[in-house]
Amino acid sequence: MRRDIVLAGLVVFSLSLGACRRKQVPVAAVPLTPSTASAATAATGVDRSQFLRDSIERARTDSLARLASTGDAANLRTALEAAVRFDYDAAEITDDGRAVLDAKLPILRTNMSVRVRISGHTDSRGSDEYNLALGLRRAASARKYLSDRGIAVDRIDVVSFGEERPAASGDDEGAFEQNRRAEFEILSGADALRMPR
Partner 1 sequence: MRRLLQCLVAFVAYGTIAGAQPGVRLGLMYGEGGARPGIYVLPVAGAAGDSIRAIVMRDLDFGDRVTVLSKNSALPAPVGAAAIDYRIAARLGINGVVQIGPAPGGVSMALYDVGGKQVLQRALVPLPAATNTAAWRLAVHGASDLCEEWISGTRGIAATRFAYVADGRIWLVDSDGANARAITTAGRALSPAFRPDGQAVVYATLEAGGSAIRVADLRGASRQVLEPRGLNISPTFTPDGVAIAYAHGDDFGTDLFVIPASGGAPRRISIGRGTDNTSPSFSPDGRRIAFTSGRSGRPDVYIADEDGTNADLLAALSSSSQGYRSSPDWSPDGRAVAFQSQLAGRFQVMVISLRDRVVTQLTSDASNEDPAWAPDSRHVVLSSTRSGVRQLWVVDTETGRARQVTNMPGARLAAWSSRSGS
Q: Which is nearer to partner 1, 8 or 140 (CB)?
A: 140
The contacts of residue 104 (CB under 8 Å, 6+ apart) are 68, 79, 80, 82, 146, 184
Work out which of 118, 140, 151, 193 binds partner 1, going by CB under 8 A: 140
- Quick check: 60 binds partner 1 (CB under 8 A)? no
**Spatial distance between the Cα atoms of 185 and 60, rounded to a whole number of angstroms:** 19
Work out how close the CB of 137 gets to partner 1 at its nearest, in angstroms, rounded to a whole number: 6
Work out how close the CB of 174 gets to partner 1 at its nearest, in angstroms, rounded to a whole number: 16
- Quick check: 152 binds partner 1 (CB under 8 A)? no
**Spatial distance between the Cα atoms of 76 and 64, rounded to a whole number of angstroms:** 9
Q: According to CB under 8 A, which residues from 115 to 134 bind partner 1?
A: 117, 125-130, 132-134
Q: Segment near partner 1 (CB under 8 A), from 26-34, 49-57, 100-108, 135-143? A: 135-143
Size of the residue set binding partner 1 (CB under 8 A): 22
- Quick check: 172 binds partner 1 (CB under 8 A)? no
Q: Which is nearer to partner 1, 51 or 130 (CB)?
A: 130
- Quick check: 100 binds partner 1 (CB under 8 A)? no
- Quick check: 4 binds partner 1 (CB under 8 A)? no
Work out how close the CB of 186 gets to partner 1 at its nearest, in angstroms, rounded to a whole number: 14
Chain positions contacting partner 1, by CB under 8 A: 89, 117, 125-130, 132-134, 136-137, 140, 143-144, 157-161, 164
